Amino acid sequence: MSIEVKIPPVGESISSGVVSVWHKKSGEYVEAGEALLTLETDKVSTEITAEKAGLLETKAEEGQEVQIGEVVALIDDQATPPAKAKTTARNEPAPAAKKVAEKRSANADVLSPAVRRMTTEEKIDPARISGTGKGGRLTKGDVISHLQAAPQTLTDDQEKPRGRKQPASEEPAAGGHERFTRKKMSPLRRKIAAQLVMAQQTAAILTTFNECDMSEVMALRKKAQEKFTADHGVKLGFMSFFIKATVEALKAVPAINSRIEGDDFILNHYYDIGVAVGTERGLVVPVVRDADTKTFADLEREIADYATRARDGKIKIEDLQGGTFTISNGGVYGSLMGTPILNPPQSGILGMHAIQQRPVAVKGEVVVRPMMYLALSYDHRAVDGKEAVTFLIKVKEAIENPTALLLDL
């Protein structure tokens, strides 16, 4: 009897996705619970697993767009598992070669989801890459280095000149590299693009700036770090301070914790704070629910968990829905200043930037302090300029005088 593998519902308003990777190929025997494929939608990537063991027959190609409910494979649960081949002494590999093969096999078995996806998509044998991680495990950096070192070949997705000879200015670069590569945007990247354009076209976006002295937060963080890590099993970062400061500022200026729906102005009385996380496939914004009720340890654990699951493609659609305000930290990439774009339908987004030692005037004297530029982009339809400036000053004051924020440390 053949069991149909259908694309399951993966979230509200999602009607289709793209078969990003087949983890098992047609004709292979699969075990119950094994990952068959990764489905990439416009919001998240989801692994679809086998309900029962059997022989797999795929019905969809990698890169193909499929609808929710569509049959993408069949599993023959009457098929018997393939017998393990017996090796003879004559075919037994030399001890040294056997040891290397065993090590490579072990490394392949412990690939992280992100590394497994990269090697599958790029059709790379993990055993051919030397791992630099703990115990010789492969890291994403190892795969990227391997791809950069490997000779590049023209693929069907790349643009090919037709009907004329290439002029000298369009000759391939040294090493056979093509001048450009053409490929379809992923559903996630298309969704990000649509959201950004929609935000620009439907909201009256304005940005106000300020800067804050990070001296007190850095000193308190350094002082509390060892005990905090020992007590809670997670490091104390800057993001939890900014979430706490943001909640206090939203309480002081409620208009920013709002959204506009048609002719209605909706004021939220809860604080679900989105934290932007960059991944290889694009930016996602998981939401920290009821941030006003959570301790620093709760916030740090939740942020770390979201970041790991987002980068491994394990985040759930419900983790990304319903935020009332967003914080984006471009400083982790070295950004000194920028204007973040609203995450619709929210009315505000706070942009953090790099900490930089700069000369500032303090009590009439010039001193060097670790400073961070802050940016608040807001929907001017819902928020007045005075409210926006007041909000940013409240965040600045909380960061520069964090004692009140630290009561639960």
pLDDT tens digit sequence for 277-295: 887 767 789 999 999 999 9
Q: Are 214 and 371 within 8 A, CB to CB?
A: yes
Q: Is 384 a catalytic residue?
A: yes
Q: Active site residue: 157, 177, 380, 408, which one? A: 380
pLDDT band at 364 (very low <50, low <70, confident <90, very high): very high
Q: Are 306 and 277 within 8 A, CB to CB?
A: yes
Q: Are 348 and 378 within 8 A, CB to CB?
A: yes
7-40 pLDDT per residue, tens: 888 765 577 888 878 988 888 899 988 888 888 7
205-262 pLDDT per residue, tens: 999 999 999 999 999 999 999 999 999 999 999 999 999 999 999 999 999 999 999 8
- Separation of alpha carbons 389 and 109, rounded Å: 53
335-348 pLDDT per residue, tens: 999 999 998 899 99
Q: How far is CA 74 from CA 32, 36, 57, 138, in A?
A: 13, 11, 5, 32
Alpha-carbon dihedral angle through residues 365, 368, 369, 373, given to the nearest 10 degrees: 100
149-207 pLDDT per residue, tens: 654 443 444 444 444 444 444 445 455 577 888 877 777 677 778 878 888 888 899 99
* Residue 337 confidence (pLDDT): 93
The arithmetic mean of pLDDT across residues 354-360, rounded, is 96
pLDDT at 363 over 80: yes
- Separation of alpha carbons 137 and 125, rounded Å: 14
368-390 pLDDT per residue, tens: 999 999 999 999 999 999 999 99
pLDDT at 75 over 70: yes
pLDDT at 89 over 60: no
pLDDT at 351 over 50: yes
Cis before 345 (ω within 30): yes
* Residue 123 confidence (pLDDT): 67
* Residue 20 confidence (pLDDT): 79
Q: Are 237 and 300 within 8 A, CB to CB?
A: yes
- The phi and psi torsions of 203 (rounded to 5 degrees) equal -120, 150
304-318 pLDDT per residue, tens: 999 888 877 778 878
> Between residues 130 and 309, which one has the greater pLDDT?
309
E strand spans, 170-288: 205-213, 258-261, 264-267, 273-275, 277-279, 282-284, 287-288
The residues, any chain, with a CB within 8 Å of residue 70's CB and separated by 6 or more, are 6, 7, 60
- Separation of alpha carbons 296 and 23, rounded Å: 39
Token pair belonging to 85? 């081949």
* Residue 164 confidence (pLDDT): 41
Domains annotated on the chain, with CATH: 2-76 (2.40.50.100), 92-184 (no CATH), 187-406 (3.30.559.10)
> Between residues 162 and 270, which one has the greater pLDDT?
270
The arithmetic mean of pLDDT across residues 62-77, rounded, is 87
Buried b (16+ CB within 10 A) or exposed e, 173-185: eeeeebeeeeeee
- Provide the CA 387 distance to its chain's centre, in angstroms: 32
* Residue 321 confidence (pLDDT): 86
* Residue 114 confidence (pLDDT): 65
Q: Active site residue: 231, 290, 384, 408, which one? A: 384
The arithmetic mean of pLDDT across residues 119-147, rounded, is 70
Q: How far is CA 137 from CA 148, 183, 204, 292, in A?
A: 19, 30, 49, 40
pLDDT at 108 over 60: no
Q: Is 146 a catalytic residue?
A: no
